[in-house]
Structure 1
Amino acid sequence: MQAKDCTLYHGGLKGAEAAFGELAEQYGIREVVYTFEGHKLERERNTVVLSESELQRGDISMELASRMMNRTYYETEKIRRVLQTIFHIVNKGHQVFVVGTILDDNSVKGGTGWAVELAKLFNRPLHVYDQTRRGWFTWKEGAWHEDTPLIRYSTFVGSGTRYLNDDGVAAMAKLFADSFKQG
């Protein structure tokens, strides 16, 4: 697979998403950023601003989201729009890559966890770089397994923490370098 034939989908936020976008640009990968009106982005290449009706297609009960992620989400319009946007991002990309922290309950810390739960629900190939454990993990058969993933599909998602550290940046750079070796 050639990098030029791939498309990265993400939300354009600071941290992991912006870093995924920068790597995509370096490798000549098409990049699409999904957002909603009034959302502040770090990276704005090929931005798609979702309409009200498009956002509604990604709607979910905040109670259900809270239960799936083992945490409490209150009914705020911004959180709802973020979760709706994440639905569109994960729905577009076949393979999902996340940088963050895997928690003891197998969820991933923060709003990024919603991308992980949707990837599980949609049965997408799912890989998380855990910055705490300093390793990649792939979701298989209901559990996390240490792995060295590669980008294997022409559409993929890059998501993750706003608090990206140097180790996370290095892991992302290696993922792209290993996936798109020349020759």
Structure 2
Amino acid sequence: MDQEKCTLFSSGLKGAETSFGETAEKWGVKEVIYSFETHKLQRERNVILLSQEELERGDISMELASRMLNRTYYETKKIRKVLQTIFHMINGGHQVFVIGTIQDDKSVKGGTGWAVELAKMFNRPLHVYDQPNKKWFTWKNDWVEDEPTIEYDTFVGSGTRYLSDAGHQAIEDLFARSFKETN
């Protein structure tokens, strides 16, 4: 992979997404951040503010999201906009990397879980670094332990706001494994 031809998609939030963005910047990978008015960002490089019409293209039923993630999402404008923004991230990137917690029901904890479920629905190569287990897993109709690399020109970096040192190191190592021959 030539990192200068790659683009990272995220939403620039604190934690995993900031770490993905900072690491991408170090490696010369282009970064695109999707957001919306009033959304508080940690990183503000190459931000695309989604209009109401663009957000609505990523609209989903809150009932469907709740059912898929085995949790309750209340009908709030902010949560809906966050989920709509995640749609644009997953739609933009071919491969998906997430830092989070894989739960017993095989979903991923928190709002990050929506990125995982969309990646499954869109049939994207999907990789989750499970912070409690300190291991990468790839989705193959079940979670399989793996050590993934970035293999596509467009990819998503998403995850928890509560990034551990091990999670940050996993992101650094992912980029090093993926681009070691070109640097």
**What TM-score, normalized to structure 1?**
0.99
Measure, in 1, the Cα distance between the counterparts of 2:181 and 2:58. 38
Q: CA deviation at 1:182?
A: 2.9
How many angstroms apart in 2 are the aligned matches of 1:115 and 1:44? Answer: 20
3-state secondary structure, aligned to 2:38: coil
Task: Please give the secondary structure, in 2, of the residue aligned with 1:32.
Answer: strand
Written as runs of structure 1 = structure 2, the 5 A alignment for 1:70-109 is: 70-109=70-109
* 2:169 matches 1:178: no
Correspondence 1:143-162 to 2 at 5 A: 143-162=142-161
Question: What count of residue pairs does the alignment treat as equivalent?
Answer: 182
2:30 maps to 1:30: yes
Structure 1 Cα separation of the partners of residues 173 and 84 of structure 2: 30
| Cα distance in structure 1, aligned partners of 2:28 and 2:10 | 16
- Aligned-partner Cα distance in 2 for 1:15–1:36: 19
1:139-172 CA-partner distances (Å, limit 9, x unpaired):
00x1000000000000000000000000001111
After the TM superposition, list the runs of 4 or more consecutive aligned residues in structure 1 that deviate by more than 6 angstroms. none
Aligned partners of 2:48, 2:131: CA distance in 1, in Å?
Answer: 29
Shift of 1:181: 0.7
Paired AA for residue 178 in structure 1: R
Q: Could you tell me how far apart the structure 2 residues matched to 1:167 and 1:21 are?
A: 17
Q: Which residue of 1 aligns with 2:113?
A: 113
Following the alignment from structure 1 to structure 2, what is the Cα–Cα distance between the partners of residues 172 and 60?
29
Render the CA deviation track for 1:35-93: whole Å, top value 9, x for unaligned.
00010000010000000000000000100000011100000000000000000000000
SS of aligned partner of 1:74: coil
Q: Which amino acid aligns with 2:104?
A: D
How far, CA to CA, are the matches of 2:53 and 2:165 in structure 1? 39
Query: TM-score by structure 2 length?
Result: 0.99
Partner AA of 1:148 in structure 2: E
Which stretches in structure 1 are left out of the alignment for 5+ residues? none
RMSD value, Cα = 0.6
CA distance in 1, matches of 2:24, 2:175: 8
